[in-house]
Amino acid sequence: MGGSTVTVKDWVTHIIAIIIIVPFIVLIFKHLWSFDEGGVEAGEAVLKLLGSIVTLVLGYYFGSAAGEKQAEASRKEALQVKETTITDVDKIKEKFDSLSVEYKKRLEEIKNLKENLRSIIEEE
């Protein structure tokens, strides 16, 4: 996975953030810069209502980006550990196989020595 790939989830998150934040900013400017008392009160009401929503969206937006980066780093680390483990297991298997072959050779030598001793004992 490259660092510059953009998924559908990323686009949806961007679009939702824009849909919520842009109207929020427009409403704030519209009502706060209208010079009548009702406009200022409406602006304050909009600020109270939508402020928490914008905070939530921004928190999710930036929090999920950081969380996704951390998750990606964890996935890469896990893959690296897995590859290292597989390599280590393969090395151990090769060592075991070579020891097994060595063991079989030694066992055959012991059998031959036993036969030789038996034949020497029988000759006497």
In this predicted structure, the answer to whether residue 60 has a pLDDT above a threshold of 80 is no
pTM for the model: 0.36
- Given a contact cutoff of 8 angstroms between Cβ atoms, the answer to whether 46 and 31 are in contact is yes
Tens digit of pLDDT for each residue in 32-51? 676 666 666 766 776 777 77
Integer Rg of the chain from CA: 37
Which sequence spans correspond to the domains of the chain? 8-123
Whole-angstrom distance, CA of residue 31 vs CA of residue 43: 5
In this predicted structure, the answer to whether residue 2 has a pLDDT above a threshold of 50 is no
pLDDT of residue 91: 87
Three-state secondary-structure class, residue 4: coil
